[in-house]
Homo-oligomer: A and B are copies of this chain.
Amino acid sequence: MSKQQPTILVVNDDGITAPGIKALMETVQQLGRVVVVAPDSPQSGMGHAITIGKPLRLDRVELYDGVEMYKCSGTPVDCVKLAVNRIFRGKKPDLCVSGINHGLNNSINVLYSGTMSAAVEGAIEGIPSIGFSLDDYTLQANFKPCLQYVRQIAEQVLQRGLPSGTLLNVNFPAGDNLKGIKVCRQAHGKWAEEFDERMDPHKRPYYWLTGEFQLNDQGQDTDVWALDNNYASVVPVQFDMTAHHAISVLNSWGL
């Protein structure tokens, strides 16, 4: 750690008033100077969306004593972009933490998650970045049992950095029986959608997205396995989406 106090950007996708971001902010405050930039409304499932067709608001708010906080009208990724460009102004933070999300972001959920996309954007900016999520969707989620691990992982990343082009996806099981941490890969899985069709008062149909997670992976080295066995899962994530192993296959096609 540098002798100067490190600066830490805290973001999320559940919105600036979510209990999860308060728990995360209070935990990393022990490690450095914190700046919070979070959406002014819930942005779950926003993935890596950015706001192109309309302008953004970024306003200072005073929610907790002595904490520099801003609410943003955009997506989680917009929050990171605005933080880097308008608040830190080129002097990048030493760490970007996102969450703690109310709900898991393991397996394929890394793609849909605004929490994780904010952390991905931090990593694209060259900032060591971590997304944290807890297996509890409720406002009453108990973050306490995982906070010592949040602190430990954040501290390690501040000290050691992360391999170039990577970030961390950290998920916690609910409850206080946490057995420790497992470094994992993303489990193969997908959502099987079941749209709930309803009729509006004008007899026109509309659809609610709903569905069930399907695990297609029996590996014991996955995030799903770790969480099922009461471990916190830590998956290193990259934003190079190239399927390098498929390049030779395609070259053999003679396109």
Residues of A at under 8 Å CB distance from B? 42, 44-53, 55-58, 75, 77-78, 81-82, 84-86, 108, 110-112, 117, 120, 124-125, 152-153, 156, 160, 162-163, 165-166, 168, 181, 183-186, 188, 190, 193-195, 197-198, 204-209, 234-247, 249-251, 253, 255
C-alpha gap A52/B206 in the complex (Å): 13
Contact across chains for A239 and B55 when beta carbons are under 8 A apart? no
C-alpha gap A77/B100 in the complex (Å): 25
What 4 A-B pairs have minimum CB-CB distances, sorted nearest first?
A47-B48, A236-B246, A238-B243, A236-B243
C-alpha gap A183/B255 in the complex (Å): 9
List the B side residues contacting A117 at CB < 8 Å. Answer: 47-48, 111
List the B side residues contacting A247 at CB < 8 Å. Answer: 183-185, 236
Number of copies: 2
Give the nearest-CB partner of A58 in chain B.
B207
- Distance of A190 from chain B, by nearest CB (Å): 5
C-alpha gap A48/B44 in the complex (Å): 11
> Per DSSP, are chain A's interface residues mostly helix, strand or loop, or mixed?
mixed
C-alpha gap A49/B45 in the complex (Å): 6
Contact across chains for A243 and B52 when beta carbons are under 8 A apart? no
List the B side residues contacting A78 at CB < 8 Å. Answer: 209
Give the nearest-CB partner of A84 in chain B.
B193
Given contacts A86-B207, A156-B255, 12 further A-B contacts (CB under 8 A): A47-B77, A56-B195, A57-B206, A77-B112, A85-B193, A86-B195, A108-B124, A110-B241, A111-B120, A186-B240, A237-B243, A238-B242
